[in-house]
Amino acid sequence: MKTLLLHRRDVVAALVQDRGNMLVVSGLGSPTYDLMAAGDHDLNYYLWGAMGGAAMIGLGLARTNPDRSVLVVTGDGEMLMGMGSFATIAVQAPKNLTIAILDNGYYGETGMQLSHSGRGVKLETVADSVGFDWVSRITSMDAIEDLRRRIHAKDALNCVAIAIDSGEIDRVLPSRDGVYIKNRMKQALGQSL
């Protein structure tokens, strides 16, 4: 029996469509390439390292920019390395933060080893158990549209695991210059450097 899996580039492109003033953080590896492939943007913060830290950067952004939606797009492996941050984020409970885990069940950057989620660990239920307002496992593009509405509603702390195809796609590489990416976002937010 084969489940129909979503294509990661379609998913990320749909999530950032009509993004308005939303801030987006991408976890290292394929999520960073997916976000870039959807179109470079001043309000994107791409990670190339700091594995396990994407969700916490999202929390810092959400707490300092309560009027904006903040979206963290990351992989199952990256999120597994920062599982404690689920608890930290749930305690803070910002209503403008969504963690979207592109879950293919594999460590794609390192040779396609099965990840814990590929062996049955359900990250969205971890988020549920620590107190996220709304969690879901997403398996259709209709549900992605619904998620996009929820992201912009800014009325709940959300976490979704999105079942994506594990096929390899061409890499689309954003700048690896962390200072440039940082300063670009800070300027776009009207801060002096």
Partner 1 sequence: MPKSENTTTQPGDWNADIYHVLKSCDVRHMAYVPDAGHSGTIKMFEADNDVLSVVLTTEEEGIPYLAGASLGGERGVLLMQSSGVGNCINMLSLQVNARFPLLMLITMRGDYAEFNQWQNPMGQATEQALKLMGVMTWRADKAEDVAELVRGAAKMAFDGDHACAVLLGQRLIGEKEWNK
User: Which of residues 33 and 46 has its CB atom nearest to partner 1 in the complex?
Assistant: 46
Q: Tell me the per-residue interface mask from 53 to 92 with partner 1, x by CB under 8 A, - otherwise.
A: xx-xxxxxxxxxx----------------x-xx-xx--xx
DSSP-derived pairing of the beta strands 106-107 and 113-114: antiparallel
What single-letter amino acid sits at 182?
K
User: Interacting stretch for partner 1, rule CB under 8 A, among 32-40, 110-118, 155-163, 175-183?
Assistant: 175-183
* Least separation in angstroms between CB 94 and partner 1: 10
* Least separation in angstroms between CB 29 and partner 1: 15
User: Which of residues 153 and 188 has its CB atom nearest to partner 1 in the complex?
Assistant: 188
CA proximity to 69, closest of 33, 107, 22: 22
Helix then strand count (H, E) for the chain reads 8, 8
Q: Which two tokens stand for residue 24?
A: 């987006």
How far CA 92 is from CA of 8, 82, 86, 157, 172, in Å, comes to: 29, 16, 10, 10, 34
**CA-to-CA distance for 134 and 98, rounded, in angstroms?**
9
110 counts as binding partner 1 under rule CB under 8 A: no
**φ, ψ (nearest 5 deg) of residue 63:** -75, -30
Binds partner 1 (CB under 8 A): choice among 113, 131, 155, 186: 186
Specify the DSSP element, H or E, that contains 19: none
Give the residues lining the site for partner 1 (CB under 8 A). Answer: 25, 45, 47-54, 56-65, 82, 84-85, 87-88, 91-92, 178-179, 181-182, 185-186, 189, 191
